[in-house]
Structure 1
Amino acid sequence: MNKKILSVLLVTATLGGASTASAFNNGDILAFKAGVVTCLVPTDPTSSCYSGTTVETGSYFAMDLNNDGQFSSTERTAIAVGSDGGIVIGLIQTAGGSHSGCPTGSEISPVDAPWCFFGRTGMHQTVGLPVLDKGDNTLDFSGWGISWDGIANIPLGGDPANFPEDTGLATVSCANTPCTVADSYVIDYTSHVPANDPSAFRTVAYQLHLESELITDAKVFITIDGGNMQECIETGGSNIVANVRAILPAGDTVSSIEWSLDNRVISNTLSIQQFVSLGTHVLSVRLITANGLKVSDAENLNIVDTQPPSVFAAFIDKETATEISQVSNENKVIIRAEAVDVCSVDTGVTAVVGAPVENGQKIKVSQENGKVKLNTSSLQLTVSAADASGNTATEQANLVIIP
C-alpha cells in the first residue's frame, strides 16, 4: 500500500496513560473527534445558552484572550475534520478563502472544517513545513498556522525568542507503551502568536486539543493538485492530477477503486492524471474495502479560460521579411495581423490600418481595384482578437513614412 496516497489510521476514544513513543508515517491521516458544544450552565436551554458555551468533549482550540495565563472553558472553539479528513503527516495542507462573516462553504479547508471566530471565518493549516512525527511521542508543529478573516496566515509554530516555552512540538498521549495506530490518541499543543504578527492577536497564547475518533466506517477524500478551479493550459482544456485518501477501520484494506468524470469511468488506480475539457465537471471516486464497506466522494472541477490571446501586429518589409517601423515612399510592406490562444483553436482576428488626416483633406479612391491614395506621414496598424471564452486583446504597430 502506498501510504503517501492511501493512508489508513485507526484512532479511538481517549484512554488514560501516556506513551513513550509514537510512530506516524508520512501519509497517515490523524482524524479527530469533532468538538461538542454545550451550555456552561446545564439548566440553560440548549438553543440559547444564556450563560455562554463551552466545548465539553472532542476537539477544540482556545486563545487566552483576557491574558490571564489560563485557557478557560469559555475560550474554546469546537473544530471538526476538513476535506483531507484531518492532519496528514508529511503533507503541507494550505487553507484558503477565509473571510469576514461566518463560513459559506466556499472555503478551502483541508485540515479542519471552517469555523466562525468573532464573526469571521478561519481554518487551521500548515505553511512551509508539514506536521511530522519526531519519534519521541511529539509532533513537529513548527509549520502550524491559521488563515482567518482574509489573513493568509497567522503563524502558530511558536515564538521562542519572546516565549521560551514555545517549542513548536505537540505531545501525543495514548493508552499503551509504545503507541500504535490501533490506540486512542490525544494531541495537545500550545504556542503564542508571534509578537511581530500584524493581526490583532499578537502575543496571545494559543492551545490546540485533538481527541482521536473511533473509526468504524470507511471514509474517502479526493485531493486535486492545484485546487478545484484550474486554468486551461492546452487546446480545449487541461490535464489534472488527483489522489484519493482513505481512512479505514483497523484490519480492513482496499479492494477496489473506481474514478469517474461526469459519470464516465476513467480509472481504477489510486491517483489519476486526466485531461479535462473547458467547463464545469464532477470528479468522483468510489472505494470498496475487503470487508465490503462502500464509500464515495465527489468534487466539482472547473476548467476556466481567463487568459487573453497573444496578439501580433507588425509591418513587414516585403524584400527582407523583417519587421520595420519606417519606410520610404516606394517600399512595399506586408501587414502581419495574427493571434494565438492557448485554449481556443478558433480565435477571431480583426485588423485595421489608420492614418492621421486633416479637416478637408482629399483622398483618391479607385473603385476599379479598391485602392486608396492619400498623403500621410505615418500609418497605424491595430489588431484585435477574441477567443472562444470571450477574452480579448489588442496590439498596435506604427509605421513612419519617409518622403
Structure 2
Amino acid sequence: MSDRQMQLSWPRGLLVATAIAILLLALLYALALHDTPAAQAQTSGTLSMAITKQLDGSPVVTVGQYIDFTIRITNTGTISITKLPVIDNYDAKVLRFDQASPPPSTIDNGLLTWTTLPTDALSGPLQSGQTITINTRFRVIGISDLTINHVRIQDAIGQGGQSGGDGSDQSGGKTEGGRVVIEKSLEPGVSPQSGRPVTFTITVRNEGAADLVKVPIQDSYQAEYLQFWKAAPPPSQSASGQVSWEDVLPQLGLTSLRPNEALTITTVFTALKALDAGVINHAGVIGLRDEFQNELAAPQQAEVPIRIIAGPSEAQPTATATPKPRSKPQQATPTLETPAMPTPTTIAITATAELTASVPTSDSIPTPTLVPAHLPRTGTGDPSSAWLIVALALLLGGVLALLYRRVLSR
C-alpha cells in the first residue's frame, strides 16, 4: 500500500473507533437510566419495625419458679433490615438469666444484648413484613410486688445503609415467696390419759419451687396439763411451755429441704391431769429461708385440740351415800294369857250317911301358868318387866289363899 493510501485510511479508522465509543457510552447511559427508578425507590423507602415482649403464663410467680418471655420483632417498613441490635434489661435481684434462643452475644448483670441479628436467626436480612422471635428463660430468685423486664432495639440499619430504626416494649409481674405447710397430729388410736405419755408428730412440707436451707420450729404447749419428756431429734432449747429447734435440718442430717419434700419431728409429753377439751398444743415455723436467702412468711400454726381422761393415779371424786335415819325399835308388848282355874272340890253324900270328902292333893292341883306372847327381854332394865313379875306374884298368892280357905272350911 502506498503512503497516500495509508494517509487516507488513518482518519477513517479514527472516526470508526470514535463512533463505536459513542455507541458504547450511549448504551451504558441507557442502562443507567433503566436502573435509576429502582435505586430511587430503594432510597426513598421506610425503615421501621415493631417489637413486643410477653411473659408466658401467670403474672404472679413464686421464688424458684422458671419463667419464659417471648420477644417478637416485625419489619413494618419497606426496606430490608441487615443489622438489628436488641437489648434486654431485667432486675438481677429478682430474676436470674437461664438461657435464650438464639443465644445473646453478651451477658451482663441485668443486661442481655444481641448484636448479630437478624443473621443469627434468619441467615440473612429481615425482609419487609417478616418476623423473628427471641425466647428467654429466667429463674425467680427474689420477692417483689412488681418487677419489669424491658427490651428495645437500638440503631437498626437497612439494606441501603439507612439507620435510626428503633422500638421498645416491656413486660412484668409479681413475685412471691415460697409456700410452706406445717401440720401437727396426735398419735392415732391413742386416747391421752393423765399420768401416761402423749406423742405428737410435726410435719413440715415444702410446697414452693426453691430449696429451703433453714427451718426453725417452735412447739408450744400448756404446762398446766402437759410436761415435755423427749423429742426426736432433740430440741435446741426447752423451757416451760415451749420447745424449739433453731434449725432442724442439720439435726436430721439434711442440708436443704427440696420442693415437694417433707420432714417430721416426734415429740413426747406426759399428761399431768384430766382435761375435757381445748387447744393446748400448737407448732409454728418462724424465720424460714430459701436457697436465695429470702425470708419466707410464717405459715399458719398447726393446732391440736385434745381431751385428757383421768388416769388411775389421779383421784376421782366418788359419790358419798347419805345414811337413812334409823327408826326407833318398838318394844314388844307381852300379852297375858288367862290361866286355867282349878277344878272345884266335889263333895259326894252316900246312903250310909257317911260324909266323905275328897280333897285333892297338891299333886292334883294344877299350877296356874302365865304364858307371855313373847319372852321378855332380860338385862334391859325395862320397867314393864318388873310390873309383870309383881302382878304374877300377887295372882299366885291369891290362888293359894283361896285354896287354903276352902281346906279350913271343910
Return the TM-score normalized by structure 2: 0.23
Higher strand share: 1
Query: Higher Cα Rg: structure 1 or 2?
Result: 2
